């Protein structure tokens, strides 16, 4: 069988440039390579495992926003399969079967579970089962390639174990998928200079993909730079500066050369350097923001596109689920 890619996209509202360079660009690239064998799913069933986030209107809006964002950066639903998880009921059906064969001890070992559960007084069972549903998301399409951030690698290991367990119990059915690391995501620092860009650290850490240019500039202008550049005449090292990191994402080779040489020789000041970065930010994000605006103006079209994606996903998922039903022994 031809290789198949699956990735789940959390409906967390508007993404930031860390998501864009770390994951979304990769989806577009893999989509061009794998075509309809690349399957992307806005995983809305996972969203309510975050306690306190029970806001129906917000969930629906965020699901739509995340679909718009991915399409705005170039994900083409005509070329890939792009849909919303809860619109394909086979995800929860397979998820339940995997719950049955997965030891609780394995789930309690998951780092992400321990981190989240540790902060809660009452832990919802869904939080524990999260990686089981994730395994179902992937294996329902017999996907063998899963682009993920580093924090999800342990869950993909568990998915492999679940596939092995199912195959041993009911006969060879599922491949053991491999995680493909989204390396860029690990390296994109927050604009506050406090480690990786992440929404959980607050708005001051992130540059939103759809953020207004003046708001982006208001964050970049005071952003920390190489501490060695105390005075304008002090040379710096762009490798020790988050603005230098951002230039690698947004600037062309010629600008990068000017910035790197200018920083090391104190030929340019940090404000000039940031202004040059802003040019690249504007060039990269403006067309995405314009496409996003056009898409947002027609939510019915987005709904239709996602419904078509759900039909395409189900055309793969239903026969797999039928195979599973037969192997497990559910009455026809
Ligand atoms: Fe950072 Fe640019 Fe200043 Fe160098 S010149 S320290 S890269 S902001």
Does residue 318 or residue 116 have the better pLDDT? 318
The most distant pair of C-alpha atoms in the chain lies apart, rounded to whole Å, by 79
Contact residues for 291 (Cβ-Cβ < 8 A; gap 6+): 71, 72
Q: What is the pLDDT of residue 181?
A: 84
Of ligand 1's listed atoms, the one at least distance from the Cα of 269 is 5
The superfamily (CATH) of domain 211-291 is: Tyrosyl-Transfer RNA Synthetase (1.10.240.10)
Q: Is 209 helix (H, G, I), strand (E, B) or coil?
A: coil
Query: Residues with Cβ < 8 Å from 38, sequence gap 6 or more?
Result: 4, 5, 27, 30, 31, 80, 81
Residues 45, 84: Cα–Cα separation, whole Å: 9
The CATH classification number of 5-188+299-328 equals: 3.40.50.620
pLDDT tens digits for 24-58? 999 999 999 999 999 999 999 998 887 665 788 88
> According to the model, what pLDDT value does residue 208 have?
95
79-127 tens-digit pLDDT = 999 999 999 999 999 999 999 999 999 999 999 999 999 988 889 999 9
Domain layout of the chain by residue ranges: 5-188+299-328, 211-291
Instruction: Report whether 18 belongs to an annotated binding site.
Output: yes
Atom 3 (ligand 1): residue with closest C-alpha?
Answer: 270
Residue-level pLDDT at 202: 79
Q: Closest by alpha carbon to 86, among 41, 136, 29?
A: 41
Pocket of ligand 1, candidates 226, 231, 239, 266: which has the most ligand atoms within 8 Å of its Cβ, to mutate?
A: 226
Would you state the pLDDT for residue 267? 96
- 215: CA distance to ligand 1 center in Å? 20
State the complex-level ipTM: 0.99
211-253 pLDDT tens trace: 999 999 999 999 999 999 999 999 999 999 999 999 999 999 9
Q: Using one digit for the tens of pLDDT, what is the confidence trace for 279-307?
A: 999 999 999 999 999 999 999 999 999 99
């Amino acid at each position: 069988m031809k290789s198949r890619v699956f990735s789940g996209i959390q409906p967390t509202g508007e993404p930031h440039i860390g998501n864009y360079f770390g994951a979304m660009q990769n989806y577009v690239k893999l989509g061009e390579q794998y075509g309809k064998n690349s399957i992307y799913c806005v995983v809305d069933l996972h969203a309510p495992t975050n306690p306190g986030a029970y806001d129906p209107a917000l969930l629906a809006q965020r699901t739509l926003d995340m679909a718009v964002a991915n399409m705005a950066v170039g994900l083409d639903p005509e070329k890939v399969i792009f849909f919303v998880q809860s619109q394909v009921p086979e995800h929860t059906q397979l998820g339940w079967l995997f719950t049955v064969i997965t030891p609780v001890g394995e789930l309690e070992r998951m780092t992400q579970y321990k981190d989240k559960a540790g902060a809660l007084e009452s832990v919802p069972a869904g939080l524990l089962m999260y990686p089981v549903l994730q395994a179902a998301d992937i294996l329902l399409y017999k996907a063998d390639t899963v682009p993920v951030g580093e924090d999800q690698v342990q869950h993909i290991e568990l998915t492999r174990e679940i596939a092995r367990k199912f195959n041993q119990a009911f006969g060879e059915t599922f491949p053991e998928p491999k995680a493909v690391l989204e390396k860029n995501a690990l390296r994109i620092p927050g604009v506050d200079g406090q480690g990786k860009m992440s929404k959980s650290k607050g708005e001051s850490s992130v540059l939103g993909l759809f953020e207004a240019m003046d708001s982006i500039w208001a964050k970049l202008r005071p952003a920390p730079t190489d501490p060695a550049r105390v005075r304008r005449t002090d040379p710096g090292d762009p490798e020790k500066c988050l603005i230098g990191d951002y230039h690698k994402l947004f600037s062309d080779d010629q600008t990068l050369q000017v910035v790197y040489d200018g920083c090391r020789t104190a030929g340019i000041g940090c404000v000039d350097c940031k202004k040059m970065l802003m040019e690249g930010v504007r060039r990269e994000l403006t067309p995405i923001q314009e496409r996003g605006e056009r898409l947002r103006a027609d939510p019915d079209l987005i709904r239709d596109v996602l419904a078509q994606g759900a039909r395409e996903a189900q055309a793969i998922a239903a026969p797999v689920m039928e195979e599973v039903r037969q192997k497990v022994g559910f009455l026809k």
